């Protein structure tokens, strides 16, 4: 099975009158996310989608829907475990409770780096904005995954 881990695109700084969860993508962030979506969906067909409740992650996922509208028909699970200060171990446990062959997970630093590190049994490594990494593993469990592909926008 494969898990495609995606960090959201570039977002505006947090304004004094908003929460971190309300931050939106910049125009460049939309372009980054769209590029990543095009690259990922050329090679992979997700059968289950997981996304952070934060606006910038939702907007990143929306770019995937623009590239492949049929994805909107899939079950989309909003997970509190994959917010910026989320619990990577809890996120993995939640993901492991679902069946599928290819999961698309749209979330944030630092959580995305810790999820990847736990799955691969490695030290955490930063993700670029709108970067996607494809991990392959027999089942979702710590230390069993191997990174097989990366998509990093140069925008």
pTM of the model: 0.97
Of the candidates 155, 119, 153, the residue with the CA atom closest to the CA atom of residue 40: 153
Structural domain spans, the chain? 2-11+23-151
Average pLDDT over residues 150-155: 94
Q: What would the pLDDT profile of 66-113 be if each residue is shown by its tens digit?
A: 999 999 999 999 999 999 999 999 999 999 999 999 999 999 999 999
Classified as helix, coil or strand, 36 is helix
Distance CA 78, CA 97 (A): 14
Classified as helix, coil or strand, 73 is helix
Peptide bond into 117 cis (omega under 30): no
User: Over the chain, what is the mean pLDDT?
Assistant: 97
CATH topology for 2-11+23-151?
Rossmann fold (3.40.50)
Position 15 scores a pLDDT of 87
Q: What would the pLDDT profile of 13-32 be if each residue is shown by its tens digit?
A: 998 889 999 999 999 999 99
Position 155 scores a pLDDT of 84
Q: What share of the chain is helix, strand, coil (3-state, %, to 5)?
A: 40, 20, 40
Distance CA 28, CA 38 (A): 15
Torsion angles phi and psi, residue 146, rounded to 5: -130, 130
């Amino acid at each position: 099975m494969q898990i495609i881990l995606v960090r959201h695109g570039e977002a505006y700084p947090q304004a004094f009158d908003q929460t971190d969860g309300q931050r939106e993508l910049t125009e460049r962030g939309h372009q980054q996310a769209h590029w990543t979506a095009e690259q990922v969906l050329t090679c992979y067909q997700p059968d289950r989608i997981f996304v952070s409740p934060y606006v910038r992650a939702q907007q990143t996922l929306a770019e995937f829907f623009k590239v492949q509208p049929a994805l909107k028909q899939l079950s989309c699970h909003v997970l509190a475990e994959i917010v910026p200060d989320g619990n990577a171990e809890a996120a993995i446990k939640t993901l492991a409770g679902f069946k599928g062959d290819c999961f698309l997970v749209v979330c944030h630093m630092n959580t995305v780096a810790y999820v990847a590190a736990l799955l691969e049994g490695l030290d955490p490594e930063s993700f670029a904005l709108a970067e996607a990494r494809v991990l392959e593993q027999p089942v979702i469990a710590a230390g069993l995954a191997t990174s097989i592909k990366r998509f990093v926008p140069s925008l």
